[in-house]
């Protein structure tokens, strides 16, 4: 498998998401109600496709490699699944308490670590990509297990929901895509080879994920234009806790890397995995669990728009300190992913 890199659509991702938001709002103002007839069918299918594409790209065969670096993985899991969710919850309480829908949207955006393109930025920063490949599937598995817990602890008291609705949402938007992705990966492996499968998926999936996300965002904003426009000032508040969450995540990753004596490659990987969030998973859950709460969905999308520029900045910061003792030790040799 070649080194991960940003595809053309990935580079244009923030602009494409902004265009999708603007086009959706314009369409909703000029042709109100037209999108609503197709909303459930299109958005549900594209969300399943989006989660399917995320799972399809995960290398579950690399899970056992995590046993070779238990210390790093334990620290990464602790930051991603304890510290960052608790930090997001605290920030939501401070800044978003009066706005329940935005509160829940921010929580859904923040609680799960990214399972795909954090590797791209790890590679750009010359971090430990092979170790990241082993971290990716465990991040995915752990968040599927823990997201229901986070929802009950952090969001259930703010915007109540029924357990039956949560079960149905997970079956449709999580379990179904997982099963489909597993079947497709197996079929592709049998048809030719693991190398051919991974090469094809590496070329197709990044663009597919961006395009499906653009379609979903367009339909959400086009179908709920009035509600979103009436609450723009409320939605704008989410920039404050989002920016603080990014700053805190990066700072913690640097402090922990230094204290743990990590090499530069581990430091860069830890920085990228703690900053990048899994907004597609959060969006799928929001649409399934809170279909009549467009502000929750919008509050997940807005941080996604600014995440890529933040990660590009993080890459520059990491490269500027590459090899320095600040990252906990000497730079490791670059290793090609297996």
Give the residue extent of every domain in the chain: 8-327
Q: Where are the alpha helices (DSSP H) in the chain?
A: 8-11, 13-30, 36-56, 70-78, 84-95, 100-110, 118-124, 129-150, 163-170, 176-191, 194-223, 225-230, 232-236, 239-260, 264-275, 279-289, 294-320
Q: Measuring CA to CA, how many Å separate 46 from each of 96, 139, 149, 204, 220?
A: 29, 23, 26, 16, 12
Residue 335: what pLDDT?
A: 40
Residue 237: what pLDDT?
A: 95
Per the CB < 8 A criterion, the answer to whether 88 and 245 are in contact is: yes
Judge if pTM exceeds 0.75.
yes
Write the pLDDT tens digit of every residue in 174-213: 899 989 988 988 898 888 887 888 788 877 888 888 899 9
Q: What are phi and psi of 113, to 5 degrees?
A: -75, 155
Neighbouring CB atoms inside 10 A of 57's CB total 23
Per DSSP, 113 falls in state: B
- CB environment 203-220: b (16+ within 10 A), e (fewer): eebbebbbbbbbbbbbbb
Residue 207: what pLDDT?
A: 85
CATH 1.20.1530.20 fits 8-327, yes or no: yes
Residue 21: what pLDDT?
A: 94
Element of type H or E holding 98? none
| pLDDT under 50: residue ranges of the chain | 1, 325-326, 328-338
Write the pLDDT tens digit of every residue in 305-319: 899 899 999 999 999
Residue 336: what pLDDT?
A: 41
Q: What angle do CA 94, 100, 102 make, to 5 degrees?
A: 80
Pick from 65, 38, 19, 84: nearest CA to 270: 84
Share of the chain above pLDDT 90, in %: 48
Distance CA 75, CA 261 (A): 12
Paired tokens of 237? 């508040």
Neighbouring CB atoms inside 10 A of 96's CB total 23
């Amino acid at each position: 498998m070649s080194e991960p890199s940003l595809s053309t659509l990935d580079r244009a991702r923030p602009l494409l998401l902004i265009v999708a938001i603007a086009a959706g709002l314009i369409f909703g103002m000029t042709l109100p109600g037209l999108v609503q007839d197709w909303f459930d069918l299109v958005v549900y299918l594209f969300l399943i496709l989006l989660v399917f594409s995320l799972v399809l790209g995960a290398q579950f065969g690399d899970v056992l490699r995590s046993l070779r670096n238990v210390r790093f993985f334990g620290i990464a899991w602790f930051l991603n699944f304890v510290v960052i969710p608790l930090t997001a919850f605290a920030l939501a309480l401070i800044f978003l308490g009066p706005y329940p829908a935005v509160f829940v949207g921010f929580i859904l955006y923040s609680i799960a670590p990214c399972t795909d393109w954090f590797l791209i930025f790890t590679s750009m920063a010359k971090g430990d990509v092979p170790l990241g490949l082993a971290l990716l599937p465990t991040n995915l598995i752990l968040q599927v297990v823990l997201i229901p817990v986070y929802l009950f602890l952090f969001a259930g008291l703010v915007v109540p929901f029924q357990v039956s609705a949560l079960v149905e949402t997970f079956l449709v938007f999580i379990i179904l895509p997982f099963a489909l992705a597993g079947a497709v990966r197996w079929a592709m492996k049998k048809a030719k080879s693991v190398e051919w499968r991974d090469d094809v998926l590496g070329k197709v999936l990044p663009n597919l994920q961006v395009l499906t996300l653009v379609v979903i965002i367009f339909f959400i904003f086009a179908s709920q234009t009035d509600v979103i426009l009436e609450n723009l000032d409320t939605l704008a508040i989410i920039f404050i806790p989002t920016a603080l969450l990014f700053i805190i995540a990066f700072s913690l990753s640097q402090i922990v890397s230094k204290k743990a004596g990590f090499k530069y490659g581990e430091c860069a990987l830890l920085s990228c995995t703690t900053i990048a969030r899994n907004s597609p998973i959060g969006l799928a859950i929001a649409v399934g669990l809170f279909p009549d709460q467009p502000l929750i969905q919008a509050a997940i999308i807005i941080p996604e728009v600014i995440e890529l520029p933040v990660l590009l900045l993080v890459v520059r910061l990491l490269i500027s300190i590459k090899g320095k003792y600040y990252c906990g030790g000497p730079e490791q040799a670059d290793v090609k992913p297996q």
